[in-house]
Amino acid sequence: MRVIAGNNRGLNLVAPEGMDTRPTTDRIKETLFNMISFDIPDCNFLDLFSGSGQMGIEALSRGANFAVFVEKDKKAYECIEKNISKARLEDRAKLIKSDVSAALNSLNNQQTFDVVFMDPPYNKLIEKQVLEQIKDKPYVTNDTLIIVEASLETSFDYVADLGYVITKEKLYKTNKHIFLKKA
């Protein structure tokens, strides 16, 4: 697992051992960041269920202003700390060791996020809970791009009821990315 492009291109990142996290493959990460390349420079990036922190670090490497990483798992959190230090991004990153719901409530005084990325555990409808929670948060605006990584089986038929519209969907062999904005 490595940083694909930008100032930290080629930097190898550490990932937590075990099966508790599923790091996004380099190929899928590269495809995603190519799709959102114009959204990244100067953006504020929120990385939920951060795992190794590779998505937020990739955004920072490609020119994001600031990234917030939310991870509750101790081993994963320690990996994010190591990876941010290794990339020398401490001044542009904030780490929150907490479950996502509590972290989202603590961010109310945060400036707005341009991109929210989440990769929750698959097939547990956690992404629905997060979308419900952030729909009225002041840091998520009509311009905020929300990206959900999910299993291919995950249905998003409820998003219109929550006030979102799916702007794009990218299917891979094993999972997908859903791109949403407030309606």
- Domain presence at residue 18: no
Tally the domains of the chain: 1
pLDDT band at 22 (very low <50, low <70, confident <90, very high): low
Q: List pLDDT tens digits, range 61-99.
A: 999 999 999 999 999 999 999 999 999 999 999 999 999
Q: Enter the pTM of the model.
A: 0.93
How confident is the model at residue 16, as a pLDDT?
A: 80
- Domain presence at residue 41: yes
- Domain presence at residue 16: no
The domain that holds 74 is classified in CATH as 3.40.50.150
User: What are the strands, taking DSSP E only, across 26-136?
Assistant: 44-48, 66-71, 93-97, 113-118
Which domain covers residue 147, as residue numbers? 26-182
User: In 3D, which of 78, 89, 144 has the Cα closest to residue 117?
Assistant: 144
Q: List pLDDT tens digits, range 145-168.
A: 999 999 999 999 999 999 999 999
- Domain presence at residue 50: yes
- Domain presence at residue 10: no
Q: Percent of the chain beyond pLDDT 90?
A: 80
- Domain presence at residue 9: no
